[in-house]
Amino acid sequence: MKKLILGLLAATVIPAAAAAQGTDPVSASIRAQYGPVKANIIASAEQMPAEDYDFQPTPEVRTFGQLIGHLAFAQFSICSGLVGEASPRPGNLEAQLTTKAELVEAITEAFKFCDSAYADATDATLGDEVAFFGSTSVRHYPLTYALVHANEHYGNIVTYMRLKGMVPPSSQGN
């Protein structure tokens, strides 16, 4: 009896949850992940003092500024294939940009460049072929790859901020 009740519950709750996300639950879930990581990374770049953009926890890792430049470059590169446009900021941004102002502008612009790739994705288009790092892939892969990459580096950012005695945006209770 218990298994029957659980089965009936799952049969009604799971489809209801998918319906609550609309007709495109997969792309909606990808968009739901994009917003917070975008907000956290931009807020971190803004929050870190300019004098700490050259902070490097160990010689083997990037400085905070290089990390933000790397993220901006990655977002531009990945999303250029998704939106079918050349990157407006090609090249090694972690080497090209060195000031807080330049890097905050670049990371903000990079996420803005990606906004339409996430906003326009539907479950029906997730299987479409797009350019991805000199090859092709289905749209779903670069969308989720960009999220994983951004979240991975947000974890690095959190460590940099904690080492500087700062509370990262995701822990500020907003």
Q: Indicate the pLDDT class of residue 9, thresholds 50, 70 and 90.
A: very low
5 located within any domain: no
User: What's the pLDDT tens digit per position in 128-137?
Assistant: 999 999 899 9
81 located within any domain: yes
Identify the CATH number of the domain in which residue 108 sits: 1.20.120.450
Taking residues 150-155, report their average pLDDT: 98
19 located within any domain: no
User: What's the pLDDT tens digit per position in 15-52?
Assistant: 444 444 578 999 999 999 999 999 999 999 999 999 99
Which single residue is written with the structure tokens 């519950």?
A: 9
How many domains is the chain built from?
1
Q: Of how many residues is the chain composed?
A: 174
Residue 129 β-bridge partners: 138
pTM score over 0.75: yes
67 located within any domain: yes
157 located within any domain: yes
11 located within any domain: no
42 located within any domain: yes
Which DSSP category does 164 fall into?
A: T
User: What's the pLDDT tens digit per position in 88-130?
Assistant: 998 888 899 999 999 999 999 999 999 999 999 999 999 999 9
Q: Domain limits at 135?
A: 24-171
Considering only CA atoms, give the Rg of the chain. 19
Extract long-range pairs of 135-141: CB within 8 Å, 24+ residues apart.
Answer: 137/81, 139/82, 140/26, 140/30
Measured between alpha carbons, how far is 48 from 72 in angstroms, rounded to an integer?
16
151 located within any domain: yes
